[in-house]
Amino acid sequence: MIKDDSAKPLSHNEVLKEADPILAGELASTLLDPEADRFSNDDGQFLKFHGIYQQDDRDLRKTGKKYMFMIRGRIPSGILSAAQYRVYDDLATQYANQTLRLTSRQSIQFHGVVKSGLGPLMKSINEALMTTLAACGDVNRNVMAPPTPITEPWMQEVHDDSQLLSDALLPNTPSYHAIWVDGVQLNLAEHQHHDDPLYGKTYLPRKFKTAFAVPPLNDVDLFTNCLGFIAIEENGKLVGYNLTAGGGLGMSHNNPNTYPRKADVIAYLERHQVEAVAKAVLTIHRDFGDRTDRKHARLKYVLEEKGVAWFREELEKRLGQALEDPRPYTFERQGDRFGWHQQADGKSFLGLFVETGRIKDTDQIQLKTAIRKVVDTYETEVRLTPTQNLLLVNIPADQIEGINQILAAHGVPTTHEKSPVRGATMACPALPTCGLALAESERYLPSLIDRIEGLLQTRGMSQEEIIIRMTGCPNGCARPYMAELGFVGRAPGKYNLYVGGNESGTRLNRVYQESVKDADMETVLGGILDRFKDGRHPNERFGDWSARVLWAEQEQTEA
């Protein structure tokens, strides 16, 4: 039964989708118009389904808007062959801003693409048998899975299942290839009654995110996803998954009806049920999500307001069978492994730290050039991690020295020489490209970490790891609400400070202080670190201490 929203008017995006179910708008016509430097605002909404955001350079607004585009690839599990990586690297050089931006969902974004380069870039991606379809928009986004090479043979089956869902949950619209491959403006009248077999005529109320995790490592931040699968292994075999649903981090400042939420563990399913269960969960969102308020449209609000028992009953009704209760599992940690490590098959992989996820060349480190030379020389497979780093995998022993030499020649360390706290950071792009940013993030976090490293060093804690994440707005793209220490942009130079996440990624943090000014950061953080040093239990992490001490103080104050 579809939720009845007749008492409230539909959001503007719902009206757009209803009127144009193939998501074509006037995209092809505008693309061919040499006089146009941008698409209409309505077409900007359709662009998202095609993996594109229309933006402008906010550093230049005082002299007039310079329109540009962000394009995001759909890369299941973040796995790229050498040939595929070369395509992304070439396109970044030819059409974007000479950089590759790794995302928090194991993908790559191009930034700074102007309209004249948009068509050629998109066509090149598709000619390389890759796609940007459904990388954005009110559909299932890029499916995540653990990037680390397998340590047990059955782990390959997890990647197989992630690819299965990436294909099975893809929307079916004729406009994508018509626009970006054939350059044709479709006649809407001929497609007015298009009805996607899975999504229906108006797709989902909002975005939908899916991930797989293999305990004890929660490197995908599973509980932040709308739909999650926790691998259950018995006697060396993948037997099934625990299903999670209802996670999501986006919120709006001063709007109590929006909030971060951790997913619930719903049930256990056998492996052969993965596709059917995923489609059933997605259609629950489709049918019961709020189509009147996009800030309240995620699946997490359906779970929060209707309850887990209702959700499981609805899911089982759609499946036509009961599911088992969840099986035991344990998550111990999150994060990436840096440096050289041996795989189960005897080959090796190399984890490279990519600060704030930006692959670029600087005077000190020519990371973009180095990775490309390694890929060209050795045909190396590349894997993108959920924390915006990069792995070079399946490397035979006789290639290790050559790879080390290439990286060293370009200033790229093969051992993680950064501090533990810097290696556990993430940031969203924010300014100048994101239209939603209220404050800096990617451009600001490295210098803030310099200051935090100084605070830790003066307190004798330079080897302390604290998971730190920053976003320029409350939408949470870098998952700051699961960090031990999170910074969320409130206004230029001001951030809400969150504390209390944990190493395993199984606990949301809480706001500790609002609107902390940049000039006050060291005073505020230094005071917290002094208390942490003096009051922690032996080997207690910062997040656990914060949850034990700072949360209790807040609760006493509120009482």
Which residues are 342's β-sheet partners? 348
**Domain annotation covers residue 152:** no
Which residues are 393's β-sheet partners? 381
Predicted confidence at residue 559, as pLDDT, reads: 76
Which residues does 189 contact at the CB level (< 8 Å), separation at least 6?
Answer: none
**Domain annotation covers residue 457:** yes
**Domain annotation covers residue 548:** yes
- Residues with active-site annotation: 72, 141, 207, 209, 428, 434, 473, 477
Report helix angle 155-168 to 274-288, nearest 10. Answer: 40
Closest CA to 219 of 78, 336, 362, 52: 336
CA distance 337 to 395: 16
CATH number (domain holding residue 452): 3.30.413.10
In sign, the C-alpha dihedral spanning 112, 117, 122, 127 is negative
**Domain annotation covers residue 448:** yes
The range of the structural domain enclosing residue 492 comes to: 421-558
- Domain count for the chain, please give it: 1
Burial label for 17, CB within 10 Å (0-12, 13-18, 19+), is buried
Predicted confidence at residue 6, as pLDDT, reads: 58
Token duo for residue 497:
């400070």
Instruction: Check if the beta carbon of residue 162 is closer than 8 Å to that of residue 209.
Output: no
Rg (C-alpha) for the chain, rounded Å, is: 23
Predicted confidence at residue 152, as pLDDT, reads: 81
Predicted confidence at residue 2, as pLDDT, reads: 45
Closest CA to 162 of 220, 106, 219, 229: 229
CA distance 517 to 498: 14
3-state secondary structure 120-168: HHHHHHHHCCCCCCCCCCCCECCCECCCCCCCCCCHHHHHHHHHHHHHH
**Domain annotation covers residue 430:** yes
Instruction: Check if the beta carbon of residue 268 is closer than 8 Å to that of residue 157.
Output: no
Burial label for 230, CB within 10 Å (0-12, 13-18, 19+), is buried
**Domain annotation covers residue 36:** no
Place of tokens 């960090």: 483
Helices (H), 321-399: 367-378
**CA distances in angstroms from 10 to 5, 16, 353, listed in the order given:** 7, 10, 44
**Domain annotation covers residue 433:** yes
**Strand residue runs (E) in 183-248:** 210-213, 227-234, 237-245
Residues in the chain: 559
pLDDT per residue of the chain (559 residues) written in tens, 0 to 9? 444 555 799 999 999 999 999 999 999 999 999 999 999 999 999 999 999 999 999 999 999 999 999 999 999 999 999 999 999 999 999 999 999 999 999 999 999 999 999 999 999 999 999 999 999 999 999 999 999 887 788 999 999 999 999 999 999 999 999 999 999 999 888 898 999 999 999 999 999 999 999 999 999 999 999 999 999 999 999 999 999 999 999 999 999 999 999 999 999 999 999 999 999 999 999 999 999 999 999 999 999 999 999 999 999 999 999 999 999 999 999 999 999 999 988 999 999 999 999 999 999 999 999 999 999 999 999 999 999 999 999 999 999 999 999 999 999 998 867 799 999 999 999 999 999 999 999 999 999 999 999 999 999 999 999 999 999 999 999 999 999 999 999 999 999 999 999 999 999 999 999 999 999 999 999 999 999 999 999 999 999 999 999 999 999 988 7
**Domain annotation covers residue 14:** no
CA distance 361 to 377: 19
Question: What amino acid is encoded at 200 in this protein?
Answer: G
